[in-house]
Amino acid sequence: MTSPAPVVLVFLDPAFPNGRLADASKPQLMATDQGAIRGDGVFESMLAVGGSVRKLQAHLDRLDSSALALDLENPGQDRWRKAIETGVAEHRMQHPAPSPADDELVVKLVVTRGVEGAGSPTCWVQVSPVGAAGRRQRETGIDVILLDRGHDSGVAERAPWLLMGAKTLSYAVNMAALRYAHKQGADDVIFTSSDGRVLEGPTSTVLLAHLETSDDGAGGNRTTRRLVTPRLDSGILPGTSQGALFNAARAAGWELGYGPLEPQDLLEADAVWLISSIRLLAPVNHIDGKEIGTPAIQKQLTAELNELFAGIQ
């Protein structure tokens, strides 16, 4: 039992153009809200650094597309932007970061289907500090196990009702997979499909890299860096961090690739990461107990990608 982290809540409310601040220490949701009793809603989790939300547009766009997949009414992006500004400013005022390096906040956006029969969604912004575990894992790396996600990699295209590309509130399985991993002494999970493809983490996207040195034809050596992620049409959530990092890496001369990937590809990579908006790049040290890549190359590539990622707005 730990004391709860300081949380700021801002509800989207037509009567409050900049959002309605609400006391997070008191109940604010109806027990009959369909988000609460059916996981019927969508969300985004974003990182604010020094008061500025990273990849805001990509997150707002993905929230729109998740809401569309669930036939959920979603307020306009302008209303979200104002409520986010209100929440981040309020949190930084109420709970100033002890140092500029600690000025990181999780900004969560939630849209639920609201109370049954009321016909309007419930929408809010939740601002809270970044947990210590996530920040630590950026440095130490993580141990991962592979777990079967139960479906094949073609399901998203043939069965839209399974909401594969939407970030819904129905995260019980993602949480159960993480608990299962923790019981095995691991930190995280990479899901695989029933047809043997690498999919994603419960709350992250999978990346791998290869470093190849070849003759440059002029007596010297040429180093190629190649960054690969699973195919986006394999029933996974399109990662906003993966998307932004791929753009930055391309501009820096990296080659890019999109699966299909199999577990063997992870074991043969020079480095593997789970990337997400809050924890950022978490280097994968072991998968099912097997060491991944070589520590020196993993360290070098992680440093390079972190630098590229730090430049993303």
Give the CA angle between residues 129, 130, 136 to the nearest 5°. 145
Nearest Cα residue to 193 out of 260, 291, 103, 117: 260
CB of residue 99 to a second copy, shortest distance in Å: 23
Q: Are 9 and 20 in contact (CB under 8 A)?
A: no
Using the structure block, give the residue that is written with the tokens 């992250």.
204
Whats the size of the chain, residue-wise?
A: 313
Q: Does 100 bind a second copy (CB under 8 A)?
A: no
| Number of Cβ atoms within 10 Å of the Cβ of 56 | 19
Please, which residue, 177 or 227, has the CB nearer to a second copy? 177
Please, which residue, 176 or 252, has the CB nearer to a second copy? 176
Q: Does 16 bind a second copy (CB under 8 A)?
A: no
CB of residue 139 to a second copy, shortest distance in Å: 23
Is the backbone peptide bond immediately before 260 cis, with ω within 30 degrees of 0?
yes
| Number of Cβ atoms within 10 Å of the Cβ of 276 | 23
Q: Does 177 bind a second copy (CB under 8 A)?
A: yes
Site for a second copy in 267-296 (CB under 8 A): none
Q: Does 7 bind a second copy (CB under 8 A)?
A: yes
Name 101's Cβ contacts closer than 8 Å, sequence gap at least 6: none
Give the number of residues in contact with a second copy, rule: CB under 8 A.
Answer: 67
CB of residue 245 to a second copy, shortest distance in Å: 26
Residues that bind a second copy (CB under 8 A): 1-5, 7, 9, 22, 24, 26-41, 43, 69-71, 108, 110, 112-113, 115-119, 124, 126, 147-152, 155, 158-163, 166, 168-177, 179-180, 194
